[in-house]
Amino acid sequence: MRTAILSLLPVIWAALAGSPVHAAPPNIILVMTDDQGYGDLACHGNPHLKTPHLDAFYKQAARFTDFHVSPTCAPTRSALMTGRHEFKNGVTHTIQERERMTQQAFTVAQLLKSAGYATGIFGKWHLGDEAEYQPNRRGFDEVFIHGAGGIGQTYPGSCGDAPGNTYFDPAILHNGKFEKTKGYCTDVFFNQALAWIDQRRQTGEPFFAYITPNCPHGPLDCPPEYEAPYTGKVPPNVAKFYGMITNIDDNFGRLTAKLDEWKLAENTLVIFMTDNGTATGSRVFNAGMRGAKGSPYQGGTRVPALWRWPAGFAGGRDLPQLTAHIDIFPTLAEITGAKIPAEFAGQVEGRSLLPLLKDEKAPWDDRILVTHVGRWEKGKAQENKYSACSIRNSRFTLVNAGRKGENWELFDLVADPGESKNVLADHPEVVQELKGQLDAWWQDVTPLLVNEDVTPPAQNPFKVLYWQQFGGGPTSPQP
């Protein structure tokens, strides 16, 4: 009896302390979709879209309701990987070599690998297609990705996918070799991720699965049975866009069902988020927000952020604090106990979200977040300091949405979350403070814009690799 009581003491103590009980670090699955916005979920009020599996997950999750990312794809992925603003990683665009993440950065995959995690990426990378920038050099053991920012995309220089790729039967780069897959791309990525997770389950090693489907990014295409329920109810392109999201939802449902079947759900942290505001859905429903992908308004940066870890914290709660993609790195570091090497100690700008995940009333100081769309003409960084940008705290956002001159707007997000009333004249002290913060930020990032004047390769690296494996290709460099 005494032995039994002693064996229960750790459990009793943990319960009294409010701490989770788990024997090992959690598995981590981060699902990030492409170009899906905050309003592109039924659980966020969309009156047309059907997302039953994500809706069920929403009810089980801790939900960050004021969570922000960058306004376009590669920038968000860079900030998530490093815990700091994308410009400090040299990422100021999605093409022109300006999507390449500096090699002078320590990634969250490297962090987790150092803590004993197996690491895998399935889908979109978009932080450099040249060999030295690929995920296998940035901490990932398992790599199953397309090239460029989208399946089938090609731009002059380094950014391009395998030739002739489409959303059906795409050629996917798998650990250095292309595989000609069968099926719809989102199904293919989730199938591969599930097979890899099953292998890790059998070995018992903790894992980090970074599942990044290209959908619902354009070109808008999906199996007809997914488009059909929306045909005639919304514009044709939106019907395809919604069909792509419903397919994601089915795959996400398969994932969570497998975690239950494999008895992994209790000690697996599952995160669902998206990489920027909606690219297509705002014309139908945008959750009351202004702007969309590529915009410094809320509609360009506020996205879903649903976190579930039954062994770690309670679900079914809204967390309204101002949070961001740069917070993911330090959160995972704290959860896993992984240590950032001393030489990268100053890299991370974000905050650990674990205190909020454990207690929604935990102290959370106000903060400043900078959004800058970038995407200026090559070599024109300094002239675009104030172009298409915003800077905000938990109450106010100062926005210059245009690219010519300074046409500032100030919005009180507490009173006006839709950013409809410019209160610039009412709060000159706020304008001065936020603009001063932006000036200081620009001074910090300018020396780190390392990709602005690089010389591009003559051919897309993905295409060269594909031709080496399968033959073919042009006889002279592409234009």
User: For domain 369-448, is the CATH number 3.90.180.10?
Assistant: no
- End-to-end Cα, the chain, rounded Å: 80
State the chain's mean pLDDT as an integer: 94
User: 475 falls in which pLDDT band (50, 70, 90)?
Assistant: low
Q: What pLDDT sits at residue 422?
A: 98
Segment 308-326 mean pLDDT: 97
357-400: pLDDT as tens digits? 999 999 999 999 999 999 999 999 999 999 999 999 999 999 99
Inter-residue contact 62 to 52 (CB < 8 Å): no
d(CA 191, CA 185): 10
**For the chain, where do the domains classified as CATH 3.30.1120.10 start and end?**
369-448
pLDDT digit string, tens, across residues 224-270: 999 999 999 999 999 999 999 999 999 999 999 999 999 999 999 99
Measured at the CA of 148, the angle between CA 146 and CA 153, to 5 degrees, comes to 95
The pLDDT, as a whole number, for residue 474 is: 78
User: Residue 369 is which amino acid?
Assistant: L
**Predicted confidence (pLDDT) at residue 158 exceeds the cutoff of 90:** yes
Q: How confident is the model at residue 478 (pLDDT cuts 50, 70, 90)?
A: very low
Decide: 100 and 128 in contact? Cβ < 8 Å: yes
pLDDT at 18 over 60: no
Q: Are strands 177-180 and 27-33 parallel, antiparallel or unpaired?
A: unpaired
Give dist(CA 366, CA 344) in Å, integer: 25
Provide the residue type at 34 as one letter: D
Quote the radius of gyration of the chain (alpha carbons, Å). Answer: 22
The pLDDT of 427-449, averaged and rounded, is 98
Distances (CA, A) of 433 to 62, 175, 370, 391, 427: 33, 48, 13, 10, 10
84-124: pLDDT as tens digits: 999 999 999 999 999 999 999 999 999 999 999 999 999 99
What percent of the chain has a predicted confidence (pLDDT) above 70?
94
pLDDT tens profile 30-66: 999 999 999 999 999 999 999 999 999 999 999 999 9
Among candidates 77, 9, 406, which has minimal Cα distance to 274?
77
Q: Where in the chain is the domain with CATH 3.40.720.10?
A: 25-358
Q: Are 467 and 164 in contact (CB under 8 A)?
A: no
State the pLDDT at residue 345.
84
Question: Higher-confidence residue: 477 or 304?
Answer: 304
Q: Whole-model pTM above 0.85?
A: yes
Homologous superfamily in CATH for domain 25-358: Alkaline Phosphatase, subunit A (3.40.720.10)
